Structure 1
Amino acid sequence: MMKTQKLKMILEKTDTGFSAFSESYAIFTTGATIPELLHNALEAVNFYFEEENIGFQAEYLKFEIDFQQFFQYYKVLNSKFLAEKIGMNPTLLSQYVQGQKKPSDKQTQKILSGIHQIGKELSEINLIHG
């Protein structure tokens, strides 16, 4: 594996938190939270490649999660709202979320772009309490 390539890890929700594994290498880990899982995954990858003197940084890991698990975990993100935000038919997005249909690469990028945009908007908001 070349260090400039991203190592794909499949992320899954479990009863006790999260797990991640590589489809290409015998690398797997768990964590109670997403931040813990990301930290543990980086440690697991570095441990796996230690004998080859390859050290990974977080930006070289690519995490993927399927639609159903993403929307089950991030319940705060309403699929109807997302569909309207990205100009997609809400019924179609719902079918993707429920696993009834599989989105094309183009549709997946459109959805992911919308999720990233919402995340960016949320990260720029400060709540007023008083």
Structure 2
Amino acid sequence: MKTFKKKIKIIVEKTKTGFSAYSEEYPIFTTGRTIPELINNALEATQLNFEEEFEITHENLKFEIDFAQFFQYYKVLNSKFLAEKIGMNPTLLSQYVQGHKKPSENQTEKILSGIHQIGQELSEMNLIYKS
């Protein structure tokens, strides 16, 4: 079976019962109560769509979610803290999050890079209890 070389963009939207996801390019649609469940369901739906032609893995999927929905779901991520971490005006980031302004591609990359950096820092941290 051939390996699929392209990234498939999957649009994620928050719903009342969890999340939905779809591709604008292919007939791929799914839902999930949580983000991890949605990611697994999207992979399964994509694999079913291409099962006769290509081998699909997580690396083939590119998930996208808008700013407001991202910060609504990941409430633990404080936009003021993120703005300070990436050297951005907190008011400007807040306007992006609330949908009052649309960030440029460079600003989006800067924000995403900051989110990835925070995620990396958190993944390398161990918590201990000192008595």
TM-score bucket of the superposed structures, by smaller chain: over 0.9
Aligned to 1:46: 47
Tell me how far 1:54 sits from its aligned partner.
Answer: 1.3
- Residues of 2 paired with 1:129 and 1:10: CA distance? 40
TM-score, normalised to structure 1's length?
0.94
- Residues of 2 paired with 1:55 and 1:28: CA distance? 18
- Residues of 2 paired with 1:129 and 1:59: CA distance? 37
Q: Which amino acid in the other structure matches residue 34 of structure 1? A: I
TM-score, normalised to structure 2's length?
0.93
| Aligned residues with identical type, % of pairs | 73
Tell me how far 1:128 sits from its aligned partner.
Answer: 1.1
- Residues of 2 paired with 1:75 and 1:88: CA distance? 19
Q: Which amino acid in the other structure matches residue 88 of structure 2? A: M
Aligned to 1:26: 27
Aligned to 2:66: 66
Equivalent runs, 1:85-104 vs 2, <5 Å: 85-104=85-104
SS in 1 for 2:20: strand
- Residues of 1 paired with 2:129 and 2:90: CA distance? 34
Number of residue equivalences: 128
Structure 1, gaps ≥5 residues long = none
CA RMSD of aligned residues (A): 1.2
Per mean C-alpha deviation after superposition, the further-off stretch among 8-17 and 64-73 is 8-17
- Residues of 1 paired with 2:67 and 2:34: CA distance? 18
- Residues of 1 paired with 2:122 and 2:102: CA distance? 28
Aligned to 1:123: 123
SS in 2 for 1:118: helix
Structure 2, gaps ≥5 residues long = none
Tell me how far 1:50 sits from its aligned partner.
Answer: 2.2
After superposing on structure 2, the runs of 4+ consecutive aligned residues of structure 1 that deviate more than 3 Å are none
